[in-house]
Every structure is written in C-alpha cells, then in structure tokens.
Amino acid sequence: MHLDRRDFLALGAAAGATAAFGLEPTPGGKGKSLRILILGGTGYLGPSTIEVALARGHKVAMFNRGKTRPELFPNVEKLHGDRDPKKDEGLKALEKGEWDVVIDNSGYYPRMVGASAALLAPRAKRYIYISSISAYKDNDKEGVDESAAVATIPDPTVETMGKQFENYGALKALCEQAAEKAMPGRTCVVRPGYIVGPDDPSGRFTYWPARFDRGGEVAVPGAPADPIQVIDVRDLGAWLVKLAEDGTTGVFNACGPEKPLAWKRVVEACAKAASKPATPVWMDAEWVAKQEGAQFPIWAPYAGETKGFHTWSNARALKAGLRFRPVEQTVKDTLAWFKEQEKLEKGRKRLAGPSPEAEAKLLAAWKARKG
C-alpha cells in the first residue's frame, strides 16, 4: 500500500493518540472490534476519530454528502446523503445496516439530529453526540460542571445560526435533547471547548503559533495568568473511540488540560516554536475591548460575562478517561502542519485574528497610550 505524506502523518497521529490513552495502536488490539458509524467524518474531528478507530481494528462507515475531501479514507465504507431528511436523498442510505456506536459530529439542528437518531435507534446500540461548551446558558461563573443550565431559544424550530452565531449554543442543547429523546439512556453527550491542533480549518488557535512564527512584536490581549482551555483534536478523537469501547453514556465537558492552563504558557510555547525571535506585548483587556479591529481568537476576558468561559470543570471527563498532551506539543505540531499547507490544502491556510495591518495599528496605539 502506497502512503503519501498525508497518510503517513495521519497514521503517526493515530498511533500517538492511542498511545497517549494507553490504547493498543494496532488492528485487532485488545477488546471487541466495533461497528462504528460516523455522521460526518471528513471535516476536522472526524478524521482524527476515524484514524484512531481504524488503528484499533474497528470497522468504520461514514455518512456525509461526499463533497468535502472525498479522497480521504478510500478503504472506509462511505454512505452518501444529507442530514436533512427532506433534502435530496436525505437519510435513505442509513435505512439499512447495524452499528454498535454512532458518533455524530455534524449535527447542528435538532430536527435533523432527532431524525437520524430516531432512524438509527432500532439498529444502533449507542449514540455519541458532539455538542459544545457553548450549550451552557451562562459563562460568568467559574468551575461550572455538567449540571449547569443550558441555553434556550424563543423559537426551538429555527434553523439558522444568526448573524453573530447567537443561536448556536441553544441549538446544540436542543440537539442533545433530541438525541436523548430518540435513544433514552443510550446517549453520550460530549461538550468540547475550543478544539485545536493540526488540520483545523477555523484558523483560530493556529493564528497564535503562525503569528509568533512571523517574529517581531506580537499583540497579546489580557494578562499572563488568564485561564485558557483547549483540547487537541487528536486527544478528543482518541477519547471518543474510548467512550465507544467503554460503552459510556452521560454528559461530559471536554475541556483541557487536566490542570489549569495559564495564557502565558500558551504564549511562551508559541514564542519557543517560532522560527524567528518574537516578543509578546501584553495589552490590558479593558483597553483591548475598546479598540476597533481587536478581535483575538481563543482568549476571552477573565472578567464579567466571560470570566468562567475557560474554567469549565472536566472532572467527569477525566474520570471517564480523557487525557491531554502538553500544549507545547499541540503548538509545535500545529505550526508544522500550517507550514505544510502550501503543499497540501490551501483551503485550510486561513487564519482568524487581526490582520497584520490591524495589529500594527493596535501596537502603535498601545505604545502611544503607555507614553
């Protein structure tokens, strides 16, 4: 079998993820081989999950439209359709087949999640739904666990995220409820915070190692001690496979790392991984909030309505086996991946965060303010 660079990196990532979780990274390893259906599979979290599942010897099928990166996983069964049962072929491809576990990482609207879960309920033992930490109603309290109230929306039938994605969290909460209604007692809800690492199409976390790699003075919002929570996509993918193998149900916050992570440590990791000397310029959070064009990704003000956003309790997830690699490794691997994009997929080259011009203006304004 010929392996190109992408295949080689994928296999290496899968082996590293399984090793980090104490899993045997070889086909036919310990335990029963499962039949796993992935709803999605080609975007971001899907590939990381599939790579580990295959390395563990599980039989995987994925259901999607067949439009995003169709070349991935040529040896995996591919079922094509649409999450909306009213659109085109809809869920017709899922009307046959039996699975031990369904992992839904592409469900955003409760009507569609409910339809797939209800259709699969007689032929699937369990349903793992990937929700979001945004499903919670409030972000102002620190150390909140899974018992906190979730977001609501006046019209639960709405199927648009809104101009500012204001409906996203409430819709995710409704999707959780739709899955549980269709498969009561057989669902596992995973609420990740920021999913980061190689292959991230959002460009959010990637902004920081890529920006430090350009060198020079780097505008950094907030204070060094501000808390940050992220989860490497490879760690999340490996944990999803572990949840599937262990038969886990319930609701879990998938935020990391295990111990509190200071913003300063992430910044220092980015500076260390950079190929050019880079110096962080720390800017007061209140001042940043008043500046035009100062939308920095990942970080959130450690005050007011976002004070608890990066402090979610992950105790339940840790007990269920979630493990995290050091953020320094995530930074290093993310930067290495990003630099490969000219050779791989230019469509994943985008970065969030301020443009170089906007950052230069912020730096100048901050220096002028400091005299």
- Domains in the chain, CATH or no CATH each: 5-198+229-260+306-329 (3.40.50.720)
In this predicted model, what pLDDT tens digit does every residue of 254-281 receive, in sequence order? 999 999 999 999 999 999 999 999 999 9
Q: Report the pLDDT averaged over residues 195-217.
A: 97
Q: Report the pLDDT averaged over residues 209-222.
A: 98
What is the model's pLDDT at position 370? 63
Q: Which two tokens stand for residue 349?
A: 């080259």
Contact between 253 and 313 under an 8 Å Cβ cutoff? The reply is yes
Is the pLDDT at 23 greater than 70, yes or no? no
What is the model's pLDDT at position 28? 38
Is the pLDDT at 205 greater than 70, yes or no? yes
Alpha-carbon distance values, 295 to 117, 214, 223, 226, 308 (Å): 37, 19, 16, 17, 19
Contact between 89 and 80 under an 8 Å Cβ cutoff? The reply is yes
Q: Report the pLDDT averaged over residues 38-44.
A: 94
Q: Report the pLDDT averaged over residues 120-135.
A: 98
What is the model's pLDDT at position 3? 29
What gap in Å lies between CA 30 and CA 342, rounded to an integer?
A: 39
What is the model's pLDDT at position 345? 63
Angle between helices 204-213 and 327-339 (to 10 degrees): 80
- Percentage of the residues of the chain whose pLDDT score is greater than 70: 90
Q: Which two tokens stand for residue 325?
A: 């690699």
DSSP-derived 3-state class of residue 56: coil
What is the chain's mean pLDDT, rounded?
91
Contact between 143 and 308 under an 8 Å Cβ cutoff? The reply is yes
What is the model's pLDDT at position 346? 65
Q: What is the pTM of this model?
A: 0.91
pLDDT tier at 76 (50, 70, 90 boundaries)?
very high
What is the model's pLDDT at position 292? 86
In this predicted model, what pLDDT tens digit does every residue of 292-303 receive, in sequence order? 878 999 999 999
Q: Which two tokens stand for residue 62?
A: 């994925």
What is the model's pLDDT at position 11? 41
Is the pLDDT at 103 greater than 60, yes or no? yes
Contact partners, residue 254, CB within 8 Å, separation at least 6: 190, 191, 192, 193, 231, 236, 239, 314, 317, 322
How many Cβ atoms sit within 10 Å of the Cβ of residue 234? 27
What is the model's pLDDT at position 7? 40
DSSP-derived 3-state class of residue 160: coil
What is the model's pLDDT at position 22? 47
- The β-bridge partners of 188 are 128, 250
Please tell me which residue, 92 or 9, carries the higher pLDDT value.
92
Angle between helices 45-55 and 233-246 (to 10 degrees): 50
Token pair 């490879």 in the structure block, residue = 234
Q: Which two tokens stand for residue 181?
A: 């209604």
Strands in 211-358 per DSSP E? 216-221, 227-228, 230-232, 250-254, 261-262, 278-283
Contact between 99 and 37 under an 8 Å Cβ cutoff? The reply is yes
Measured in degrees and rounded to the nearest 5, phi and psi for residue 314 equal -115, 20
Is the pLDDT at 6 greater than 60, yes or no? no
Containing 190, the helix (H) or strand (E) segment is strand 187-192
What gap in Å lies between CA 85 and CA 218, rounded to an integer?
A: 48
What is the model's pLDDT at position 350? 87
- The β-bridge partners of 335 are none
Q: Which two tokens stand for residue 47?
A: 């590939």
Q: Report the pLDDT averaged over residues 345-364.
A: 89
Q: Report the pLDDT averaged over residues 178-204.
A: 97
What gap in Å lies between CA 318 and CA 322, rounded to an integer?
A: 5
